[in-house]
Amino acid sequence: MKFDNQKWLANNTFHHGEFWDILKLVKEKEKKGLKISLCIPTLNEEKTIGKEVLILKSELMERYPLIDEFAVIDSGSEDKTLEVAKNYGADVYLASEILTSVGDKKGKGENLWKAIHQLKGDIICYVDADISNIHPRFVYGLVAPLIQKEEVKYVKAFYDRPLNYSSGLRASGGGRVTEILIRPLFSLFYPELTNIIQPLSGEYAARREVLEAIPFPIGYGVETSHLLDLYEKFGLSAFAQTDLDRRVHRNQSTNALGKMSFGILQTFLNRLQSQNKIDRILSIETFYRRFEVENGSYNQLVQEVVEEERPPMIEVEEYLNKTDRNLN
């Protein structure tokens, strides 16, 4: 049967305004016996983390008990990120102190992976730490489809992404890696996934049982791997997406986006091979090269970017022991 794009978009794409009644969501959550954990992964985010914790905790834990657990998991910030987050009432953890038996690797994906072990919720919601226009919709808009629709397993955010410059906001330019890299690759190899409007958005929520069953790249490939692995397991029907209107955050340089793209591409090529989309891939280079010009000289800068992966959490013995589960 041919996939019906319009039908999927109509049934699986939402606007946060549909879920304005947070008290109703709380009652549905409690009726179904669900627990919800919120995780914010951080690295040197002292400027925005306090506002995020204050608003989300006061509205979604104290005013409406939608969130049962609120944690900041940090990669080793050198500023006051953890101090600020703790002062505003979040539980704070260093990723290096979680699952110490498997060691410590640096990267956003590492924080997200270790959150599965540390947090207790049936649903885990991830929100980035650099959002200057934070609002409760960044959480309730994502967890609501999971509360209301049992067939939904993973919910992505999408939004307008104006870039934040010193001179003010500019309306265009957001989602550059998505439009230049991910959307062309999805169009070539996974055309159904092009229905995901912002595949690289850092805000999403998912059921524990799907997160614990997939590997996690430790770096920027994590969002891409989630989509490819869960699509392979469940098809597009397991996904939903919610329009959160607008997300304002700091702009990343072109050089930073190039490094990000390099890591994402490693993850993508590995999935093409493991999912038999292509016959074979020759050894993949892990050194990212770019140029800079200084005083008329052209210098090539070389940086190694290895998109290592953590195994599915369900394969980690310490996690199985903690949750009283086994593989049989």
| Distance of alpha carbon 189 from alpha carbon 191, whole angstroms | 6
Give residue 324's pLDDT.
75
Measured CA distances, 287 to 298, 306, 323 (Å):
18, 8, 39
pTM for the model stands at 0.90
pLDDT given for residue 68 in this prediction: 98
Task: Count CA atoms within 13 Å of residue 296 on its CB side.
Answer: 0
What is the sign of the dihedral through the CA atoms of 146, 130, 161 and 289? negative
- pLDDT recorded at residue 249: 65
pLDDT of 326 above 60: no
| CATH class of segment(s) 5-322 | alpha beta
Q: What is the mean pLDDT of residues 136-146?
A: 98
Of the listed ranges 8-12, 59-63, 143-147, 287-291, the one predicted with least confidence: 287-291
The residue with greater pLDDT, 183 or 176, is 183
- pLDDT tens digits, 225-258: 999 999 999 999 999 999 999 888 667 788 888 8
Q: Assess contact for 73 and 41: CB atoms under 8 A.
A: yes
Task: With a cut of 50, say whether residue 170 has pLDDT above it.
Answer: no
Per-chain mean pLDDT for the chain:
91
Q: Is 165 helix (H, G, I), strand (E, B) or coil?
A: strand
Mean pLDDT of 174-178: 77
Distance of alpha carbon 73 from alpha carbon 67, whole angstroms: 16
Average pLDDT over residues 54-65: 98
Q: How far apart are CA 62 and CA 46, in angstroms?
A: 23
d(CA 241, CA 238): 11
Averaged pLDDT, 84-92: 97
Looking at the predicted structure, is the pLDDT value of residue 173 above 50? no
| Per-residue model confidence (pLDDT) at position 160 | 86
Work out the number of other CB atoms within 10 angstroms of the CB of residue 108.
Answer: 25
Residue 113 phi/psi, 5° resolution?
-65, -45
Report how far apart, in Å, the C-alpha atoms of 72 and of each of 12, 78, 83, 112 are: 29, 15, 11, 10
Whether 174 has a pLDDT exceeding 70, the answer reads no
* Helices 254-274 and 222-234: angle between axes, nearest 10 degrees: 30
Report yes or no: 227 and 210 within 8 Å, Cβ to Cβ.
no
Helical ranges in 192-316 per DSSP H: 208-211, 222-234, 254-274
Predicted local confidence at residue 90, as pLDDT: 97
Whether 43 has a pLDDT exceeding 60, the answer reads yes
Pairing of strands 163-165, 154-160: unpaired
- Calpha distance 31→36 (Å, rounded): 13
